Structure formats: C-alpha cells, structure tokens
Chains A and B, each alone.
Chain A
C-alpha cells in the first residue's frame, strides 16, 4: 500500500494541456552578456558550496594550519620570536596558501566536466568562456574567504600591518588577481588530464618549487647563487615582496607590483586561449 502511495507522489500524472501550456510561445529573450552568463555560472558554483559546505575544507582548515604551523615552528629560530616572524611571514603565507588553493580549481573542473550537464552547457548559445570564467569568479570568492580567515587569525596572533587597511586591501586585490590568472593553468590541466588525481599531481609538481623556492619563508640571501637566480625571478617572490610592501607601507616594491601585473597578464594571455581551445574541442 505504501509503495503505491509513494509511486503516486513521485510519478504524478502529467496533464497534457498543462504541458502544452508551458511550451513557450514567447520569443526567446535576448542572449545574456558575457558577464551575465559568467555570473550565472559563478552563481551555480556558489550554490554548490551552499549545498555541500564541506568542500570549503581547503579554504578554511589549510590556511589556519599553515599560519599556526609556520609561525610557531620557524618563528623563534628565524626571527627571534613567532610574533616578530609573523609580521614578515603573514603576507607570504597568504600568497602561498591562496596559490596552493588555486589547485583545487583544476581538480574541481576535471570532476565537473565529466558530467552530463556539460553537454547541455556546451550546446547553449552563450559566450563560450562563460562557464570557465564563472567558475574562476566563484573561486575568487573562495580565495577571499581563505584570505579573510588568515588575516583574522594573524591579527589574533599579533600581526600588525603598518600600511593600514588600504595597504591590506591593495595587497589582497593583487593576490586575488594573480590567483585568478594562475588558475588558468589549472583549468588547462583540468581539461587535459584524465583524472582529478592526475591534475593534483601535475599541479603540485608546479606549485612545490614555485612556493618553496621563493622568499615566503626566508630571506634568499643565504641561498646558493643559482637558487637565488630562480627565487628572484619567481612570480611568487614578486607577489610576496609586493604584498609585504603594500601591507607594511614600506617603499621600493613597486617594480614587484609591475612584475606581478605582467605575470598575471601573461598567464591569462597564454593559458586562457589554450584552455578555451581544449574546452571547445571534443571529448
């Protein structure tokens, strides 16, 4: 008896006239703008976070872990005290953590793209990059969240930015711009690789040298010459130096800001078209 009721509830009788009435006779609305379509896809990504908040693990737990670990492990040895070290470390650890989190973009895309709904998205008459741009915009929201968590934790541990709120905001904006640009590498990998695990491994192979062979943790002065050559030209180093400068209101970092902007532009110019080519090609 109960099964009959269940069936009746989940498989209702469809009324032919009702179906006929919803077959739209109205004209198709004008196609949405590139931004409009991208924002719709960003909304989709944010809805997923709303339904499964656990996927925010990477942007909440990792940042907290990294700030605490690095501050208290290295602080005393490198700068005399954790609090002292934190002033220099926090801008760097922000850069490192958010750059690491961008990896999840590629993994998420790789999982997402294998689903049937992508055929529908790809057969819609919309601006072609909208889906990817939308996902990346939603990811920027995630990066912002990680950043806020780390800053709040930093303040609690004694971090004091001398550059004031404006300096912090400017540094965060630069970091988000760079992360958005960097993500295009991962979208390319996300489309290219067969499994999310493969995407993860490839991304880590890039991120390890980039984030560790930088000035995030220590001053490069003690490193061998050939390492310094890499470190000093590493975009993560430029971004870290620029962030420290902006956050603490020091001088002499503007060429680093320029470098970051150039790196960001270069990443988008190179990797966005490659990603789009792969996205438009078949699977």
Chain B
C-alpha cells in the first residue's frame, strides 16, 4: 500500500490505525454515538463491546466513511474520514453486520466482482477468486448462489471478499453474530492469522467471550459512550479480584437447576452468562466450593467445566452498567 506506513497527513502518533476524538452521531433525538474517543494501535485487534443499540455499528460506519459524523474527528491510518474519505476507502475493508455479499450471485461471482472493482484485470480477478474460495473452504460451493449458503459459509465468503486485496485495516461488524460455535471458531482463526500477518482489526461484538478471546484491547460502550477501556485483564480488575466461580453445565436445560443448587450451597446468587450453559457468582468463601460442586454431581447435573478465578466480562459489564450485556438472544438480534 502506497500510504499506509507514511504519516504525512498530520496524525500525531503514527502508530495508531484509528484515532477518534469526541466522535458523535445523532439520529433525530437519539445520540447514537455520543463523544467516543478511541485509539487503536496498528497491528492489534481492538474490540468494541456493547449490547445492541449501544452505537457500535454507527461508530464503525463512520470510520468506514459510510456515515458522516455530526461532531468530533476520526482519523483512519492518518486520513480524516470526512476530508479524505477516498484515501480511507483505499486502505480499509468492511465486513458488515448482515453479510456484505450479494445473495443473488454465486460465491465466485461475488469475489470476481470485488476483484474487478479493485482493478484486477479479467484473468487475475478469476484467479484471485479461485485462490480465495479454495483457502476458505468454498471451492465446492463456488458456483452456488450465496442465498443457498449456510451462515458460516456466507461469513467466510464475506471475509474473503474483504481481503481480495488484504487491507491494512479491517472492520468486522459483529463477525460471529448468529453463527454456530464451529463457524465462530473458524472466523476467529481467520482473524488471528490476519493479525499475525500484520493487519489491524477493529471488531464490534456483543459477545464478551469473543472480545476476551480476540482483542488486545477492549472498549466497552453503552448508550453511545465508552464506559471502560483497557485490556481484558484490566477490565476484569475493575470489578475486584475476589474469587469467581464459573460453571458450565453439560446440558443447558439444566442450568437453572444447577443455579438453584449452587445458590443454596454457597448462599450467593448465581448469574446466567451469555453462554447458555454458563453460570457465575462471586464467592467470598472459596473453601465451600468443593462441597457445592460435589452436591451438583450428587444431584445428577453433569458439568462440562468449572473454574474459580477472575470475574468474566459479563460481570464486568454488569458491574459497570448495572444491566447485563445481552438483553436479546442472538436470533432476535439478527432478525
């Protein structure tokens, strides 16, 4: 890329891929984004975490030049998103929340189209599409219409379309919303490889687990404002470090039963986590945990795993905002 490394356009700190100051966007009366400051270092994964309607997508759309900010500034790889929108477009790719691929075309046609639009001549556009389809496990489905793809295939195609020319900066808007765990892991693997190869990734998510797994730093946003920012460890430390017992039951159906038993045994109220099989609670008296787990086993609630340690991001979110991170199921969120 011609201009990614240089920083002639006034960015005070050339190590930042994204820098926003007081970024604001109103929709009518609603302040969808209300003065957001972000600083994303090059070569890292930055997670913007928040519930639906927190302003994540709006922020991303402003950074991708699709929306014009009402106030504040945003620089992407040193380019102002308003004054120098075209330069921004040359250095970023956006994978939108609802698959940004054309459902009425085949997988191959989608990639060839993007390659052509990026300036690949005929022959190399076909070749590039073939390579990507192969690498993303879509070679067999290449000639099928995308509307017949599974959610996971669609998402992989979507990411493939974003790296027809691998951008220095990739925006991923809720990359795994609505995906099954297996497809989710595949997306995570792809992101990790890209970052290892030097791409900066800014992703939004409503899955705390995802931010925890992928992101070097996380901004938690709620009602258009950043309410906490830091590494996953720093955010967890905000809530204090007293022991947290986290259990995952084998069968999500039994989660409530497990919660009842544990609450009884430990005298602490257990919270449901976003993972439908997980529960957690702060336990001031860790010695009693072993007995409580034994009680669970005796009552025939098999566990997939348990841990006693730092609080999860679910608890962080609850502690910071007073409400849980996920107010909707993923199905409702994508509807």
State A115–B154 Cα separation when bound (angstroms): 14
C-beta contact mask, A23-60 vs B, less than 8 Å → 1, else 0?
11101111110001100110110011001100000000
Contacts of B86 in A (CB 8 A): 125
A31 touches B109 (CB 8 A): no
B100 interface residue, CB < 8 Å from A? yes
Quick check: A28 and B1 within 8 Å, CB to CB?
A: yes
Q: Does the CB pair B104–A29 fall under 8 Å?
A: no
The answer to whether B190 touches A24 (Cβ under 8 A) is no
How many contacts A-B (CB < 8 Å)?
147
Residue of A12, A21, A116 touching B100 (CB-CB under 8 A): A116
Q: Are B1 and A19 in contact (CB under 8 A)?
A: no
**CB-CB contacts below 8 Å: B187-220 with A:** 189-190, 193-194, 196-197, 199
Known: A19-B136, A22-B135, A28-B165. A119 touches B113 (CB 8 A): no
List A contacts of B134 (CB < 8 A): 18, 22
- In B1-35, which residues have CB < 8 Å from any A CB? 1
B98 touches A116 (CB 8 A): yes
When distances are taken between beta carbons in the complex, the residues of chain B under 8 Å from A124 are: 89, 114, 117-118
* Chain A residues within an 8 Å CB radius of B64: 119, 123
Given contacts A11-B182, A48-B104, A282-B67, contact A123 B94 (CB under 8 A): yes
Q: A10 in the interface, Cβ–Cβ < 8 Å? A: yes
Which residues of the partner chain B approach A14 to less than 8 Å between Cβ atoms? 135-137, 156, 186, 189-190
Q: A23-B193, A282-B66 are in contact. Are A48 and B105 (CB under 8 A)?
A: yes
Q: Are B152 and A11 in contact (CB under 8 A)?
A: yes
Q: Is B166 on the interface with A (CB-CB < 8 A)?
A: yes
* A18 neighbours in B (Cβ, 8 Å): 134-135
The reply to whether A44 and B182 form a contact with Cβ atoms under 8 Å apart is no
Least Cβ distance of A15 to chain B in Å? 8
Q: Is B44 at the interface (CB under 8 A from chain A)? A: no
Give complex CA distance A250, B193 in Å. 71
A120 to chain B, nearest CB (A): 4
Residue of B at shortest CB range from A6? B150
Residues 82-126 of A at the B interface (beta carbon under 8 Å): 115-117, 119-126
Taken together as a complex, chains A and B put the C-alpha atoms of A36 and B68 apart, in Å, by 28
- Does the CB pair A28–B193 fall under 8 Å? no
| B257: interface (CB < 8 Å) | no
B264-314 residues at the A interface, CB under 8 angstroms? none
> What is the CA–CA distance of A281 and B65 in the complex, to the nearest angstrom?
10
In the bound assembly, the distance between CA atoms of A11 and B68 in angstroms comes to 38
A104 to chain B, nearest CB (A): 16
Give B159-196 as 1s and 0s: 1 = Cβ < 8 Å from A's Cβ atoms: 00111111000000000000000110010011001101
Contact of B102 (CB < 8 Å), options: A16, A44, A52, A281: A44
Inside 8 A of A30's CB, which chain B residues have their CB? 119
Tell whether, in the assembled complex, residue A120 and residue B166 are in contact, meaning their CB atoms are under 8 Å apart. Answer: no
Is the beta-carbon distance between A116 and B152 smaller than 8 angstroms? no
Chain A interface residue count, CB cutoff 8 Å, equals 47
Q: How far is the CB of B70 from chain A (nearest CB, A)?
A: 11
Contacts of B162 in A (CB 8 A): 120
Question: Cβ of A117 and Cβ of B101 under 8 Å apart?
Answer: yes
Q: Is the CB of B103 within 8 A of A115?
A: yes
Chain A CB within 8 A of B145 CB: yes
**Interface presence of B262 (CB below 8 A):** no
| CB atoms of A119 and B100 under 8 A apart | yes
Cβ contact within 8 Å between B89 and A125: yes
CA distance A108 to B67 in the complex (A): 23
CB pair B96–A28 under 8 Å, yes or no, is no
> Which A residues are in CB contact (< 8 Å) with B89?
123-125
A9 within 8 A of B: yes
Shortest distance from the beta carbon of A239 to any chain B beta carbon, whole Å:
33
Cβ of B325 within 8 Å of any chain A Cβ, yes or no, is no
Q: Is the CB of A28 within 8 A of B119?
A: yes
Is B145 touching A51 in the complex (CB atoms < 8 A)? yes
Rounded to whole angstroms, the CA-CA distance of A14 and B102 in the bound complex is: 23
Is B332 interfacial (CB-CB < 8 Å)?
no
CB <8 Å contact, B163 and A282:
no
Q: Are B194 and A29 in contact (CB under 8 A)?
A: no
A117 nearest in chain B by CB position: B102
Q: Which of A44, A123, A282 contacts B105 (CB 8 A)?
A: A44
A24 to B129, CA, bound (A): 12
- Minimum CB distance partner of B189 in chain A: A14
Find residues 93-127 in chain B having any chain A CB closer than 8 Å to their own CB: 93-94, 96-106, 109, 113-114, 116-121, 124
Contact of A20 with B by CB under 8 A: yes
CB pair A120–B152 under 8 Å, yes or no, is no
Contact with A along B239-251 (1 / 0, CB 8 A): 0000000000000
Contacts of B189 in A (CB 8 A): 14, 16, 19
Q: Nearest chain A CB to B200's CB is how many angstroms away? A: 13
Bound Cα distance A28, B118 (Å): 8
Known: A9-B140, A116-B97. A21 touches B135 (CB 8 A): yes
Q: Which residues of A contact B186 (CB under 8 A)?
A: 11, 14
A residues engaging B (CB < 8 A)?
7, 9-16, 18-25, 27-32, 36-37, 40-41, 43-44, 47-48, 51-52, 115-117, 119-126, 130, 281-282
Closest 3 CB pairs of A and B: A12-B137, A29-B119, A120-B100
Ordered by A's residue number, 30 sampled pairs between the chains whose C-beta atoms are within 8 Å are A7-B182, A10-B141, A13-B137, A14-B135, A14-B190, A16-B189, A19-B193, A20-B193, A21-B135, A22-B134, A23-B197, A25-B166, A28-B118, A28-B119, A31-B90, A40-B113, A43-B116, A47-B105, A48-B105, A116-B96, A117-B99, A117-B101, A117-B102, A119-B64, A120-B96, A120-B101, A120-B162, A121-B117, A123-B89, A123-B93
